[in-house]
């Protein structure tokens, strides 16, 4: 333990502590006059407990060797636990505000969709690193040999892992991620489902052997999505020409240009036809599923939030109320803010959820742009330390964990602050380490503990290697 503490990244820990202290200050300021649970009575006391437990978990996780998570039984256990929690909260959870997002066992209350983020960082990092590192060159061997369609299909069905290890890795990771994302989506928790999808997508992109081809596949997906949705079409062009190529609702020109563009991308970037075809089919299927979910399953209040994002004045007293009050709070803080405990929007309850979802707006009202700059600087410094740890990691698995944690924090910060400023739709995404919430604090501290573990155990190995080198040099001398 002494060596671990000696090699601990105290700059990272102090940055975490500073953000937690800012959170405690703004939560206290937003709730010190609260008299009911709805107004936030008692939140500061609970947050203090969350912070204490979070730090205990943070230091504990940092002592565990990250290589432990590479064992298959551990990975299976992590997946089964998170799958059970997500399934349980949907089927047996008590609805709160028309959603099943929380599990309450006595005084314990957890939000499984938050823990799913860390679980998927570990699982995706393990799955992709296990095969990509050793099979990166082997994965393209099949393209060098002439193969008939029958043998290709046979290998695809019966020997996918052996013949196409990279494709196998990504399909397995996508399947596991997809199951969790769907379970989060049907809670419903659209914001968390979106962040989890973007998080997994980022890990896929970072770990892909040839990122240029990955970008090509992304363009194929975008072309496929536009082909299904017809967002960009030639209607205006047809009106000018005086004729149309739309036949029974299908734009023939759009179909032709999209297919030709996909074929050109496939040829120029030397992408596998099989992978391009799978990307096309998955994108079209995903669009059909999303469209059906929007029309039949998405709760009306979430539709309102998205519609208000595009037109905040459409419902100023309803769905647009939070957004308007948040902008007022941020704007009224100006450069130096109104001062501690002087925030009128949060103090007079004009700003809902000032201690959780809109904690950034409440902080800016009291500490202004100067305070916001401090928060941004702390987050930037924290992310730099995380990425730096990932760059120095011993192997691909540990690097992917660090990069995944940095992406998770970046997404949460960007979406929460963007929501507060009106440049993102209103969702229940907390501001890491600052917003009130036990699950948010615990998950973030676990994730940062994983990064600290990578740093600690890497330094231990470096120290041992350094001692061996010194010993050999002394013998030779």
Task: Tell me how far CA of residue 249 lies from CA of 230, 246, 255, 258, 279, in angstroms.
Answer: 10, 6, 12, 16, 24
Tokens of 32: 């010190």
Report the distance separating Cα 318 and Cα 313, nearest Å.
10
Q: Which domain holds residue 234?
A: 2-476
Confidence at residue 100, expressed as pLDDT on a 0 to 100 scale: 66
Pick from 377, 358, 379: nearest CA to 369: 377
DSSP per-residue letters across 112-144: HHHHHHHHHHHHHHHHHHHHHHHHTTGGGGGGG
pLDDT, tens digit only, all 477 positions of the chain: 444 566 778 899 999 999 999 999 988 888 877 777 766 778 888 899 999 999 999 999 999 988 899 888 999 999 999 999 888 887 776 666 556 677 777 667 788 888 999 999 999 999 888 655 554 444 444 344 445 555 555 555 545 666 667 777 888 899 999 999 988 888 777 788 888 999 998 998 888 777 788 888 889 988 888 888 777 777 777 667 776 777 766 777 888 888 899 899 888 888 888 888 888 888 888 888 877 777 776 666 666 666 655 555 555 555 566 677 777 778 777 888 787 777 666 665 667 777 777 888 888 888 888 989 999 999 999 999 999 999 888 888 999 999 999 999 999 999 888 888 877 777 778 899 998 888 889 999 999 999 999 988 875 544 444 433 333 333 333
Beta-bridged to residue 104, according to DSSP, are 109
Confidence at residue 312, expressed as pLDDT on a 0 to 100 scale: 56
What angle do helix axes 190-207 and 165-185 make, rounded to 10 degrees? 170
DSSP per-residue letters across 228-266: HH-SS-SHHHHHHHT---EETTEEHHHHHHHHHHHHHHH
Beta-bridged to residue 251, according to DSSP, are 246
Confidence at residue 96, expressed as pLDDT on a 0 to 100 scale: 63
Report the distance separating Cα 128 and Cα 114, nearest Å.
22
Confidence at residue 395, expressed as pLDDT on a 0 to 100 scale: 85
Burial of 85 (C-beta count, 10 Å sphere; 0-12/13-18/19+)? buried
Confidence at residue 346, expressed as pLDDT on a 0 to 100 scale: 61
Confidence at residue 141, expressed as pLDDT on a 0 to 100 scale: 42
The values of phi and psi at residue 103, to 5°, are -115, 130
CB count within 10 Å of CB 375 equals 21
Report the distance separating Cα 188 and Cα 186, nearest Å.
4
Report the distance separating Cα 28 and Cα 43, nearest Å.
8
Beta-bridged to residue 99, according to DSSP, are 96
Whether 47 contacts 59, CB under 8 Å:
no
Confidence at residue 472, expressed as pLDDT on a 0 to 100 scale: 31
Confidence at residue 133, expressed as pLDDT on a 0 to 100 scale: 56
Report the distance separating Cα 443 and Cα 446, nearest Å.
5
Report the distance separating Cα 335 and Cα 337, nearest Å.
6
Burial of 428 (C-beta count, 10 Å sphere; 0-12/13-18/19+)? buried
Report the distance separating Cα 381 and Cα 16, nearest Å.
10
Start-to-end Cα distance in the chain:
33
Beta-bridged to residue 105, according to DSSP, are 108
Report the distance separating Cα 427 and Cα 195, nearest Å.
11
Q: Which region holds residue 249: left if phi is over 0, alpha if psi is between -120 and 50, else beta?
A: left
In 272-310, which positions are buried (b, 16+ CB within 10 angstroms) versus exposed (e)?
A: beebbebbbeebeeebeeeeeeeeeebeeebebbeebbe
Does the CA dihedral 40-43-44-47 come out positive or negative?
negative
Give the number of domains in the chain: 1
């Amino acid at each position: 333990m002494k060596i671990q503490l000696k090699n601990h990244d105290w700059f990272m820990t102090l940055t975490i502590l500073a953000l937690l202290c800012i959170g405690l200050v703004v939560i206290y300021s937003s709730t010190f006059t609260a008299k009911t649970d709805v107004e936030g009575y008692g939140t500061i006391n609970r947050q203090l407990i969350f912070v204490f437990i979070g730090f205990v978990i943070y230091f504990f996780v940092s002592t565990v060797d990250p290589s432990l998570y590479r064992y298959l039984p551990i990975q299976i256990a992590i997946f089964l636990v998170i799958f059970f929690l997500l399934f349980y909260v949907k089927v047996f959870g008590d609805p709160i505000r028309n959603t099943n997002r929380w599990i309450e066992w006595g005084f314990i209350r957890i939000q499984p969709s938050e823990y799913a983020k860390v679980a998927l960082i570990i699982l995706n990092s393990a799955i992709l690193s296990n095969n990509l590192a050793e099979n990166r060159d082997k994965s393209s061997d099949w393209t060098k040999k002439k193969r008939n369609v029958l043998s290709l299909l046979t290998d695809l069905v019966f020997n996918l892992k052996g013949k196409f290890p990279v494709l196998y890795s990504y399909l397995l990771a996508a399947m596991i991620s997809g199951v969790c994302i769907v379970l989060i989506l049907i809670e419903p928790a659209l914001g968390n489902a979106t962040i989890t999808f973007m998080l997994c997508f980022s890990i896929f992109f970072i770990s892909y052997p040839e990122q240029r081809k990955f970008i090509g596949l992304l363009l194929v997906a975008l072309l496929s999505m536009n082909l299904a949705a017809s967002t960009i079409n030639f209607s205006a062009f047809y009106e000018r020409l005086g004729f149309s190529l739309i036949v029974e609702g299908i734009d023939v020109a759009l179909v032709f240009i999209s297919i030709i563009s996909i074929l050109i991308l496939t040829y120029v970037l030397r992408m596998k036809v099989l992978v391009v075809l799978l990307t096309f089919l998955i994108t079209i299927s995903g669009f059909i599923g999303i469209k059906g979910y929007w029309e039949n399953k998405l709760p009306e209040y979430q539709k309102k939030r998205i519609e208000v994002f595009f037109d905040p004045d459409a419902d100023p007293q309803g769905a647009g109320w939070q957004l308007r009050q948040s902008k007022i709070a941020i704007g009224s803080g100006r450069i130096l803010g109104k001062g501690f405990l002087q925030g009128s929007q949060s103090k007079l309850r004009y700003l809902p959820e000032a201690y959780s979802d809109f904690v950034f707006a409440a902080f800016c009202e009291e500490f202004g742009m100067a305070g916001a700059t401090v928060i941004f600087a702390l987050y930037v410094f924290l992310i730099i330390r995380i990425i730096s740890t990932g760059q120095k990691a011993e192997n691909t698995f540990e690097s992917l964990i660090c990069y995944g944690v940095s992406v998770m924090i970046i997404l949460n910060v960007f979406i929460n602050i963007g929501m507060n400023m009106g440049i993102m739709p209103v969702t229940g995404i907390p501001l890491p380490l600052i917003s009130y919430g036990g699950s948010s604090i615990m998950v973030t501290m676990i994730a940062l503990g994983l990064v600290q573990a990578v740093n600690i155990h890497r330094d231990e190995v470096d120290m041992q290697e350094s001692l061996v080198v010194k010993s050999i040099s002394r013998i030779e001398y």
